[in-house]
Amino acid sequence: MAIKLMAEKKPAVDQEKVRRMDEVFIVTEDMEKEIKNALGPGPQEEILTSAFKLHITRGDIHTLENGECLNDEVINFYMNLLVERNNKKGYPALHVFSTFFYPKLKHGGYCSVKRWTQGIKLFEKEIILIPIHQKVHWSLIVIDLRKQSIIYLDSMGQTGQSICKILDPLEWKRYSMTSKEIPQQLNGSDCGIFTCQYADYISRDQPLTFSQQHMPIFRKRMVWEILHSHLL
């Protein structure tokens, strides 16, 4: 028997918070210099920024270089930036689980992740995001409490029914989005960037209007955003 849980509706996202595509991809000259410096040579263990009880080193930032795969530290930091932004009025109530949540749940069941939800009123949230790391590939689970749905987004078009099933004790609607429905990567290294941008757009209730060609500029912007602990 399905259990119906309804989240209180919030007003739609303010129009000024909807970023136009031509504005999203602006990187100023000063930003370019700062980004280049962070991606430049230096001690890999040097801490460049700290927030959310997380530390980002130069080595972590270097995973944002073109052709590199993102690591857990960068993804978790960026997801925290999304949560911080969505705490503002006009955005859907958002919670994001760590990249380490799903492996723990998969191997140990719900009892093993109880501490991950302590103090969090999950059913007061509207969207819950779970980044999924499968060996060398990133994807995203979106739990939408407003629609009572669990959606799997994969930039290589793989299905995630087994993942959704593990996360779904409530018999909600489960759906893996197809390659024709969401932007897809055309290389072997941008899955983490796609995952982060899926999360950004969905947490703003915006359509996924980006594509592979935008990944290099997204990488640059994410460097700046992480260094400043602030989303553009």
Please identify which of the residues 191, 196, 200, 214 carries the catalytic annotation.
191
Please identify which of the residues 60, 62, 133, 154 carries the catalytic annotation.
154
Gap between the Cα atoms of 23 and 25, Å rounded: 6
Angle at 158 between CA 73 and CA 21, to 5 degrees: 65
22-26 long-range CB contacts below 8 Å, 24 or more apart?
A: 24/210, 24/214, 24/221, 24/232, 25/214, 25/217, 25/221
Gap between the Cα atoms of 95 and 58, Å rounded: 27
Please identify which of the residues 137, 168, 205, 228 carries the catalytic annotation.
137
Gap between the Cα atoms of 138 and 157, Å rounded: 12
Asked about 22 being catalytic, the answer comes back as no
Asked about 191 being catalytic, the answer comes back as yes
Gap between the Cα atoms of 154 and 160, Å rounded: 8
Q: Which residues are catalytic?
A: 137, 154, 191
